[in-house]
């Protein structure tokens, strides 16, 4: 699309929104049902596209893309009537006779930009919130996962009126014109560097924004952990999608007393998941493209490789790899890995591990393995991350009742379930003064000190209410 085409598309969506078609809850319900039907009836097309881009195993693709989206749609449909209804809230006593309500209303036209690593779920999951809230949306899938972007564009054009929802394919030649438009909300998922540029563009129009970014998510393992279970859960989280997951454990901090044993258990877990040579496993994905392959290959040059390390540029294959003690100043510990390479470092006591995490930018996720409730509490109180898991990995992202989002460098805002609806909704406070009776709160004010004291007490008096 040309910049002129993009401007025209946004203007058509704005006109359509102003007509009020998206405001009715019945309209939103029908459109969410159409999205659900689209996902169910096109699973094969979606699976083939993701396989072409990432060689993602079919069941892994279904579990991490289709199943999550269907769960999100069903969750929204069951609660849509409640979410869209005005909520009555208490009025102060001083405003006797007033009726206070909170009205949820859509922002208008939203831009949703998604990355390549989970091309369907990271685009359509926020879209579900935008649709439930009553917005029109322009979708921008990543051009890097080109097969998925093509199928997304086809499915969206087949399913929705482009004045309501439209997908735009392309790279920087469409990203820049899109960001020049005056959207009412922008939802971006991707890297921190690009997130900064998106935020700058949003600031030009004072557009509210959600940034779902990344960072180096730590995984801490204490000396009392059941190492076999921990190793399997870490291996699942790290090597799902060949490590190309924003909330994958980026590095391990392991108590020095159990590090050697955990490394052995990780070897067993890799062998159990992918066989003796993961290159030939049907359950292991590939790197997205040669540029990312070359970037990851440079990380293999530092530290002691104790698991994996094999690679094949012609097949975009990098084995599940563990690097022992690469050093905090190594390249693998300075940048987000976003691939199947896992650095492991030892710590002596929990204070040391907490200090190591807190001395770095706030991560998108934090994982802690320990049966000790006191230590679990310390980790949750004394560190900051977008989300966390205790004694497992990744599952916080798959739960509709939990907000998913970053903090600091790892992003701002959250979504999933009700939190997606809230993200794309402006909550308008309305006070309705129904009775003709007015309290004496306007000029001319009473001269009597006694009356003034009564009125002051009235203004300062509160009412017990539920938030």
Instruction: Let me know if 355 is a catalytic residue.
Output: no
Q: How many CB atoms lie within 10 A of CB 200?
A: 10
Place of tokens 């030892």: 346
Report the C-alpha gap between 86 and 434 in whole angstroms. 17
- In Å, what is the CA distance from 437 to each residue of 92, 95, 98, 452, 456? 15, 10, 10, 19, 19
What Cα–Cα distance (Å) separates residue 434 from each residue in 79, 95, 103? 31, 10, 18
Q: Where are the alpha helices (DSSP H) in 205-289?
A: 227-239, 259-274
Task: Say whether 246 is catalytic.
Answer: yes
From the candidates 72, 212, 265, 336, which is the catalytic residue? 212
Q: Distance between CA atoms of 339 and 318, rounded to whole angstroms?
A: 8
**Nearest 5°: phi and psi at 463?**
-135, 135
Q: Are 296 and 256 in contact (CB under 8 A)?
A: no
Spell out the residues 6+ positions from residue 112 whose beta carbon is closer than 8 angstroms to its own. Answer: 123, 126, 127, 130, 137, 138, 139, 140, 187
**Catalytic residue from among 65, 246, 389, 397:** 246
Beta pairing class for 321-324 and 341-347:
parallel
d(CA 304, CA 315): 24
Q: Could you say which DSSP state residue 95 is in?
A: G
Which two tokens mark 248?
Answer: 């994958």
325: exposed, middle or buried (Cβ count in 10 Å: 0-12, 13-18, 19+):
middle
Helix (H) or strand (E) holding 415: strand 414-415
Q: Phi, psi (5° rounding) for residue 428? A: -95, 120
Return the closest-CA partner of residue 59 out of 205, 180, 213, 240.
240
Q: What is the per-residue DSSP string for 172-199?
A: HHHHHHHHHS--SEEEEES-HHHHHHHH
The candidate with the shortest Cα–Cα distance to 122, out of 46, 212, 193, is 212
CB-CB contact of 360 with 337 (8 Å): no
Query: What are the catalytic residues?
Result: 212, 246
């Amino acid at each position: 699309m040309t910049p002129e085409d993009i401007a025209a598309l946004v203007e058509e969506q704005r006109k359509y929104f102003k007509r009020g078609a998206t405001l009715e809850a019945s309209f939103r319900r029908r459109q969410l049902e159409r999205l659900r039907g689209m996902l169910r009836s096109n699973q094969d097309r979606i699976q083939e596209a993701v396989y072409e881009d990432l060689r993602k195993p079919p069941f892994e693709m279904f579990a991490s893309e289709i199943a999550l989206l269907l769960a999100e749609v069903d969750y929204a449909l069951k609660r849509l009537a409640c979410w869209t209804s005005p909520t009555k809230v208490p009025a102060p006593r001083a405003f006797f006779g007033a009726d206070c309500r909170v009205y949820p209303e859509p922002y208008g036209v939203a831009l949703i930009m998604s990355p390549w690593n989970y091309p369907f779920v990271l685009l359509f999951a926020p879209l579900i919130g935008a649709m439930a809230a009553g917005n029109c949306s322009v979708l921008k899938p990543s051009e890097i996962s080109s097969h998925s972007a093509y199928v997304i564009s086809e499915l969206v054009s087949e399913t929705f009126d482009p004045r309501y929802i439209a997908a735009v394919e392309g790279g920087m030649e469409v990203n820049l014109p899109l960001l020049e438009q005056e959207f009412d909300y922008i939802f971006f998922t991707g890297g921190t560097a690009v997130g900064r540029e998106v935020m700058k563009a949003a600031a030009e129009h004072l557009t509210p924004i959600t940034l779902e970014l990344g960072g180096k998510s730590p995984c801490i393992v204490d000396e009392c952990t059941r190492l076999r279970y921990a190793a399997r859960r870490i291996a699942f989280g790290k090597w799902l999608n060949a490590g190309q997951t924003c909330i994958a454990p980026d590095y391990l901090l392991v108590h020095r007393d159990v590090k050697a044993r955990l490394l052995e258990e990780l070897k067993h877990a890799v062998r159990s998941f992918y066989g003796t040579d993961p290159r030939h496993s049907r359950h292991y994905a590939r790197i997205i493209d040669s540029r990312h392959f070359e970037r990851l290959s440079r990380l293999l040059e530092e530290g002691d490789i104790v698991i994996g390390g094999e690679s094949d540029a012609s097949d975009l294959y990098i084995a599940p790899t563990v690097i022992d003690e690469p050093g905090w100043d190594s390249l693998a510990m300075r940048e987000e890995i976003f691939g199947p390479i896992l650095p492991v470092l030892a710590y002596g006591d929990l204070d040391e591990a907490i200090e190591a995490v807190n001395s770095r930018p706030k991560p998108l996720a934090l994982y802690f393995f320990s049966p000790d409730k006191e230590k679990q509490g310390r980790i949750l109180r004394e560190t900051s991350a977008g989300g966390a898991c205790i004694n497992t990995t990744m599952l916080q992202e798959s739960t509709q009742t939990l907000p998913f989002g970053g903090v600091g460098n790892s992003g701002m805002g959250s979504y999933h379930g009700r939190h997606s609806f809230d993200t794309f909704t402006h909550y308008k406070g309305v006070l309705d003064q129904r009775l003709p009776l007015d309290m004496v709160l306007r000029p001319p004010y009473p001269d009597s000190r006694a009356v003034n004291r009564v009125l002051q007490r009235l203004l300062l008096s509160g009412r017990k209410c539920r938030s």
